[in-house]
Amino acid sequence: GVITDPTLVSNHTYDYIIVGGGLTGLTVAGRLTENPNIQVLVIEAGNDDRTNPVVYDIYRYGDAFGTKLDWSYPADQGRSILAGKTLGGSSSINGAAWTRGLKQQYDSWLQLLDPADANSGWDWNGMFSYMKKAESFTPPNSGQLAKGANSISSYHGFTGPVHAAFPLYGLSSKLMYGGPQEPAFASVMVKFGLVKYKDLNGGTPNCVSFTPDSNGRAFVVNQPRGLGSPVILRVAYLSPVESQRKGWTTLVGQQVTKILFNPSTALPRVATGVQFGTSSGKRFTALARKEVILAAGAIGSPKVLQLSGIGDAAALSSLGIQSVVNLPTVGKNLQEQTLSALGAGGTNFNVGGSGPSDVIAYPNLYQLFGSQASAMVNHITQSISAWASSQAKSALSASALQTIFGIQANLIIQDNAPVAELFQVTNYPDKLGTIIWPLLPFSRGTVQITSSNPFVPPKTTVNYFSVDFDLSTQIAAARMVRRSFQTSPLSGLSTGETVPGFSTVPDDANHGSDANWTKWIKSQFSSVAHPIATCAMMSRSLGGVVDARLRVYDTQNVRVVDASIMPLQISAHLSSTLYGIAEKAADIIKSGL
Ligand SMILES: Cc1cc2nc3c(=O)[nH]c(=O)nc-3n(C[C@H](O)[C@H](O)[C@H](O)COP(=O)(O)OP(=O)(O)OC[C@H]3O[C@@H](n4cnc5c(N)ncnc54)[C@H](O)[C@@H]3O)c2cc1C
């Protein structure tokens, strides 16, 4: 069950201790405890807020931002990165869009691992089956089909714990929009050269598509199966089984402060358990017979490793932390995205409900940059080496980063990986809205503790826009949105762009100058909250922190299973992929590899 009293687990021994009861932590715990002989302790820093409407009503997710449900990790340029501090982690405060990346992006993970790991299954085929294992998809009904939803059944799983569907379930007033704005946006994107595709969840996201949402409506569908109460809404792996799984203990309201190691300094190092507590309270210890599994998220996990002595030995020693494994890339290779919202006033058409919004466009570089595309291809090819040098401090080395950037560039140039997301939104920031972000930034950042006090947030430096391609992509996406408001049939619904508007970014033959777009974007962008790669699954020679078995290098029994292991961004929202990673991680752990 879920408990709050730390003395109930203090000095007890479990087979596995999972640090973080978020998206991946609960998924792994749910699978490991299918075996009744296995004892798992999950320690979650946040509380059990499943009965809080801000958590169980996904349409209120924005109400969680900046509250005690959110870490709001401070970052550079005055930004902060939202992250759930509550049971369910960021899945409990997320927007629930359910999308998957490009096939070749998952295949590239193998390229970043040692050749000896060629059969490890970290590619599209392996990941697709695990993403489907996590999913219970409900195809659109006739009403939803009429509004533009569609699906391809072989792209989905139908028996997993996480429900995905088009908006219908849950609050009856919240349905797919029935007004003209979403189909009009899709038509304009087709005019801009994108294919309108039935379903972007099968590894081909370069399209405009109506997209489903995850678990927000799970309880309605599950009710007939006797699982029904709103509390399972966000925590598909836990709530339905929590009263039966005697081997699964979840302690909430306690933060893991470090991993404890066997004193023998011989490599690989052996973890024996964890220390945890609250900022004002006592520290406790719990012991792990088999493994300590980190699932604290892409900012939380490198922080715990560093606090435990795994990181850059020199930097840690300056904080008085004794080195356990000198692994300087812990917390490096951070990739996070930048968001802007554009809006236009609307004629008095009826939006047809209260949403949520459904349509996403994923243009590739050629579609986004149009006549400038070949210049941009040349620019990328010629700049990779300079970009790698400029970002080297946030990676193992310039040469490692150059290899990684080469793979990233190939995905963009050869495989048509979508480089930007354009998410049509009704009534934000005006009646017609589109939020945009570059998907595949070359800027690299770091997460680094600055104190041995675990309750001080780590220094998170994204280095937003430190590679010009990232800004150029955001500008090109903004221009595409501006043009969309001026293109029929969307233009027939628009009374003109209001955000940023022509007084802020005057229109011209080029749809606004680079200088004006830059000024506006830099003044108002926010962080998307998709941080990854801070404990990247890559070969050690490229700066990886975990191997293909998700084991931290030079440790015997410390694994990372969360967003920090993704080595490169994907052209998608992250959650479906992360459920797949965690499902695969659970099988790796069960097999004892
Ligand atoms: C605002 C927002 C909107 C999003 N929208 C979408 C969307 O629409 N679609 C989509 O697919 N994805 C979305 N995402 C992304 C997705 O939810 C996250 O990528 C995903 O939840 C990350 O999973 P994780 O397991 O790595 O980390 P998390 O789910 O964040 O879990 C980490 C957990 O560890 C806990 N923790 C951290 N440190 C410690 C410690 N020292 N001790 C104990 N516990 C600790 C945290 O409190 C948290 O519960 C969104 C994310 C956010 C924040």
How far, in Å, is the centroid of ligand 1 from the Cα of 172? 27
Task: Exactly one of 156, 163, 530, 573 is catalytic; name it.
Answer: 530
Structure tokens at 559: 């694994």
CA-derived radius of gyration, the chain: 23
Mark whether 530 is an active-site residue: yes
326's enclosing H/E stretch is strand 325-326
Environment class of residue 471 by beta-carbon count within 10 Å: exposed (0-12), middle (13-18) or buried (19+)?
buried
Q: What is the Cβ-side half-sphere exposure of residue 32, based on CA atoms within 13 angstroms?
A: 29
- With a 6 Å cutoff on the Cβ, whether 27 touches ligand 1 is no
Backbone torsion region of residue 352, taken as left when φ is above 0, otherwise alpha when ψ lies between -120 and 50, otherwise beta: left
Tally Cβ neighbours within 10 Å of residue 527: 23
C-beta contacts of 30-34 below 8 A and 24+ residues apart: 30/161, 30/237, 30/238, 30/241, 30/248, 30/586, 31/237, 31/582, 31/583, 31/586, 31/587, 31/590, 32/586, 32/589, 32/590, 33/241, 33/245, 33/247, 33/248
Atom of ligand 1 nearest to the CA of 95: 8
Residues 359/208, Cβ–Cβ less than 8 Å: yes
Element housing 147 (H / E): helix 142-147
- CB 231 less than 6 A from any atom of ligand 1: no
Atom in ligand 1 nearest the alpha carbon of residue 578: 23
Bridge partners (DSSP) of residue 171 are: none
CA distance 259 to 286: 10
Atom of ligand 1 lying closest to residue 298 CA:
26
Hey, is 498 helix, strand or coil? strand
Report the C-alpha gap between 358 and 218 in whole angstroms.
18
* Residue tagged 């959650």 (tokens): 575
Asked if residue 22 has its Cβ within 6 Å of ligand 1, the reply is yes
Which uninterrupted H or E stretch holds 342? strand 338-346
Encoded amino acid at 486, one letter: Q
- Say if CB 576 and CB 98 are below 8 A apart: yes
Protein residue with least CA distance to atom 14, ligand 1: 94
Backbone angles phi and psi of 117, in degrees to 5: -95, 15
What is the secondary structure of 462-487 as a DSSP string? Answer: --TT-SHHHHHHHHHHHHHHHHHHTS
Mutate to test the pocket of ligand 1, among 94, 274, 447 (most ligand atoms within 8 A of CB): 94
**Beta strands per DSSP E along 506-592:** 526-527, 558-560
H/E run at residue 41: strand 40-44
pLDDT at residue 85 in the model: 97
| 531 within ligand 1 shell (Cβ under 6 A) | no
Each residue's pLDDT tens digit in the chain (593 positions)?
Answer: 999 999 999 999 999 999 999 999 999 999 999 999 999 999 999 999 888 878 877 777 889 999 999 999 999 999 999 999 999 999 888 888 999 999 999 999 999 999 999 999 999 999 999 999 999 888 988 888 999 999 999 999 998 888 888 876 544 455 889 999 999 999 999 999 999 999 999 999 999 999 998 854 333 333 222 233 333 334 488 888 888 999 999 999 999 999 999 999 999 999 999 999 999 989 999 999 999 999 999 999 999 999 999 999 999 999 999 999 999 999 999 999 999 999 999 999 999 988 889 999 999 999 999 999 999 999 999 999 999 999 999 999 999 999 999 999 999 999 999 999 999 999 999 999 999 999 999 999 999 999 999 999 999 999 999 999 999 999 999 999 999 999 999 999 999 999 999 999 999 999 999 999 999 999 999 999 999 999 999 999 999 999 999 999 999 999 999 999 999 999 999 999 999 999 999 999 999 87
* Ligand 1 close to Cβ of residue 578 (< 6 A): yes
CA distance 186 to 329: 42
| Antiparallel, parallel or unpaired: β 2-3 and 248-252 | parallel
Delimit the domains of the chain by residue range. Answer: 2-133+223-333+532-590
CATH topology of domain 2-133+223-333+532-590: FAD/NAD(P)-binding domain (3.50.50)
Those residues whose C-beta lies under 8 Å from the C-beta of residue 168, and which sit 6 or more positions away, are 141, 143, 144, 175, 176, 217
The CA–CA distances, whole Å, from 333 to 163, 184, 295, 400, 402 equal 32, 39, 18, 11, 12
Name the closest-CA residue to atom 27, ligand 1: 297
Q: Is the CB of 563 under 6 A from ligand 1?
A: yes
What's the rounded Cα separation, in Å, for the pair 182 and 161?
30
> What pLDDT, on the 0 to 100 scale, is given for residue 142?
87
> What's the complex ipTM?
0.99
Residue 216, both tokens: 């927000």
Ligand 1 center–CA 92 separation, angstroms: 8
What residues are paired with 449 via a beta bridge? none
Regarding the beta carbon of 85 and ligand 1, being less than 6 Å apart is answered: yes
How crowded is the C-beta side of 409, counted as CA atoms within 13 Å?
Answer: 19
Beta strands in 139-294 (DSSP E): 162-165, 208-210, 248-252, 255-261, 271-277, 283-294
Phi-psi region of 529 (alpha: psi -120 to 50; beta: other; left: phi over 0): left
Distance from the alpha carbon of residue 318 to the mean position of ligand 1, in angstroms: 30
Residue owning the nearest CA to atom 24 of ligand 1: 297
Q: Report CA(20)–ligand 1 centroid distance (Å).
A: 9
CA–CA gap between residue 582 and residue 565 (Å, rounded): 11
Ligand 1 neighbourhood includes 426 CB (under 6 angstroms): no
Instruction: Give phi and psi for 126, each to the nearest 5.
Output: -65, -45
Q: Can you give the pLDDT at residue 380?
A: 98
331 CB under 6 A from ligand 1?
no
Contact in structure between 46 and 52 (CB atoms under 8 Å): no
Q: Which of 519, 181, 465, 508 is nearest to 343 (CA)?
A: 181
- DSSP for residue 69: T
| C-alpha torsion 166→169→174→180, nearest 10 | 30
